[in-house]
Chain A
Amino acid sequence: MTFQKLTIQEMRQKLISGQLTSVELTQGCLDRIKATDGQLNAFITVCEEEALAAAAEADQQLAAGNAALLTGIPVAVKDIFNTLDVRTTCASKILDNYVSPYDATTITKLRDQGAIIVGKLNMDEFAMGSSGENSAAGAVRNPWDTERVPGGSSSGSAAAVAAGQVVATLGTDTGGSVRQPASHCGVVGLKPTYGRVSRYGVVAFASSLDQVGPVAGNVEDCALMLGAVAGYDPADSTSVDCPVPDYLENLKAGVSGKKIGLPKEYFIDGLDPDIKKGIDAAIETYRQLGAEIVEVSLPHTDYSVACYYLIAMAEASSNLARYDGVRFGARQDSGDGLNGMYQQTRSAGFGDEVKRRIMLGTYALSSGYYDAYYLKAQKVRTLIRQDFQHVFEQVDMLLTPVAPTPAFKIGEMVNDPLQMYLSDIFTIPTNLAGTCAMSLPCGFSEDGLPVGLQLIGKPFAEAEMLQAAYAFEQATDWHKRAPEL
């Protein structure tokens, strides 16, 4: 029995009405994973036993009339979330054998809402990458074309939803890592405002940029997942103590009268024609839905990639110092003393891209270079945030492409890290500014690859952004297409 056409709300209704049990649903989900993951490699760990046990428990709750938001619904999470007594590898050799002694706050929240966690999703190692190729567990493949990348770093989170393995997932977005793979896989992915969702228990890449975000097959499911995980967490000093609205309540409010800005720096000449076509059509759709479309400017856009990579790499170089083979992790020690152990463990444990970023970040923070690189980048970050503050005085939200091109071929950019970094140009600025943004399907390329549209909202205006996304989704049917596997 397959359930991949159902939305969360439909599953929920069937579970509550007794048409379906969580065990059936979870088993169906596990079967779908078994049938398709050989092609995709979206999962690192599948928790079959734990999931079926949790599903049986959920069925009891459902029978007793205790249905929370996600009771009995199978979901999966990026392998960057700490999950109690389950392997948490971050797709790195250095954490290959790491079994977490605790749950991330977001995992606790999912469990509290009754969700069944069926497994841990593949990703770029430590969330460093835009293609899903930098994984110790092997590259993730795009369900629409398995010769192509699914995007990254939340590669498995997007691919699994696109392939109908699970109805929704959690990923993390540091520079586009939820939105870009969602775009490449034709699903909906949302990066909340920094501080909206707790980072506690999410393995850190770049602490001032990382944010947890949901991926789902449609806007409503995405809104529901966001509501399940959002909120203040006293264990994360950077989480924000402001109330979480009911994202489903006014989802159908529409966009009539809303002002949507098109930042001219995002509509450059070299934009891929397939992308341009999709975005132009989306702009027209919004106009027809009653939105006012205006051109705006984010003048420092061109500096965002440089700014982002300096900050992200510097923070990463420090965040990844704890992988030293002392308390956990795959130690390598050929008897060359303490420093020998450190160097062997870290050199064998980290992949090339992770090492490259640790090296660049260490350099950017090192004596004599701090002011020129790190401090400079932090100042430019201020300018970039000011750009957003200014445009949000003029418009309610922004509409842009997610990525400059559709999904590229596996192996195409492996040896050109800088080129890979530049492909994040449209998603990075929102992480720097800390505001919210999301990706939703808006068309297909000539080759049949999904094209995504990005909406960027004001800080903590996820509800308004979701309303605009929902209006677009109702007016189009891109989200209804599914890849054949």
Chain B
Amino acid sequence: MKISQKDVEHVARLARLTIAPEELSALTEQMDAVLGYVDKLNQLDTDGIEPMAHAVPMSNAFREDDIKPSIGIERALQNAPAAGDNCFTVPKVIE
């Protein structure tokens, strides 16, 4: 096994997902199958090969420091599940 149910539960917490207990073993198996498959990359020697983060090798895309109009409070909040006082409202955050 490449991944255990405990690992899957840990990853779910990191990703803010809940996995129903009855789905856990099937998901673990599916993830294990994919991780087992991608293991084939280890057949390749990649020492000294540069990793590729972009499809086209380019650098330096900039914008100038010029103000563009914002979209406005109403637009900003138009899809908010909960809002008040021009702010998005979320369950209490405890620090």
Contacts and interface: CB of A to CB of B under 8 A. Distances in A.
Contact of B81 (A300, A328, A342, A418): A328
Contact of B42 (A343, A366, A376): A376
B85 interface: no
A347 B79 CA distance: 19
Contacts of A346: 15-17
Given A362-B11, A382-B50, A342 B55 contact: no
Contacts of B58: 195, 238, 240
Nearest to A356: B30
Contacts of A329: 79, 81
Interface stretch (A218-226, A319-327, A391-399): A319-327
B79 A102 contact: no
A184 interface: no
Contacts of B51: 375, 378-379, 381-382
Given A355-B17, A360-B34, A434 B55 contact: yes
Contacts of A356: 27, 30-31
A382 to B, nearest CB: 4
B40 A306 contact: yes
Interface stretch (A114-122, A286-294, A333-341, A403-411): A333-341
Interface stretch (A93-101, A148-156, A445-453): A93-101
A379 B49 contact: yes
Nearest to A418: B33
A245 interface: no
A150 B27 CA distance: 26
B91 A333 contact: yes
B34 A342 contact: no
B84 to A, nearest CB: 13
A363 B81 contact: no
B55 A358 contact: no
B16 A331 contact: no
A324 B16 contact: yes
Interface string A100-126: 011000000000000000000000000
Contacts of A417: 30, 33-34
A193 B40 contact: no
Contacts of A339: 16
Given A328-B80, A373-B38, A376-B42, A362 B15 contact: yes
A193 B76 CA distance: 33
Query: Which of B15, B34, B71, B88 has the most chain A CB atoms inside 10 A of its CB?
Result: B15
Interface string B10-32: 01101111110000000100110
Contacts, number: 159
Contacts of A431: 55
B3 A363 contact: yes
Given A340-B91, A433-B55, A98 B79 contact: yes
Interface residues of B, number: 51
Given A359-B8, A379-B49, A344 B18 contact: yes
Nearest to B78: A101
A142 to B, nearest CB: 26
A303 B54 contact: no
Interface string A296-308: 0000101101110
B15 A317 contact: yes
Contacts of B43: 303
Nearest to B43: A303
Interface in B60-93: 61, 63, 71, 75-76, 78-82, 88, 90-93
A383 B49 contact: yes
A385 B56 CA distance: 10
Interface string A364-380: 00100000110111111
B15 to A, nearest CB: 4
Contact of A459 (B14, B56, B81, B92): B56
A237 interface: yes
A337 B17 contact: no
Contacts of B18: 343-344, 347
A367 B65 CA distance: 36
Interface in A268-292: none
A359 B46 contact: no
A207 B82 CA distance: 29
5 contacts: A341-B91, A347-B17, A358-B15, A363-B11, A379-B52
Interface of B: 3, 7-8, 11-12, 14-19, 27, 30-31, 33-35, 37-44, 46, 49-56, 58, 61, 63, 71, 75-76, 78-82, 88, 90-94
Question: 5 closest pairs, A vs B, by CB?
Answer: A434-B55, A378-B51, A328-B79, A194-B55, A331-B81
Interface of A: 97-99, 101-102, 193-195, 208-209, 234, 237-238, 240, 300, 302-303, 305-307, 309-310, 317, 324-331, 333, 335, 337-344, 346-347, 350, 355-356, 358-360, 362-363, 366, 372-373, 375-383, 385, 417-418, 421, 431-434, 459
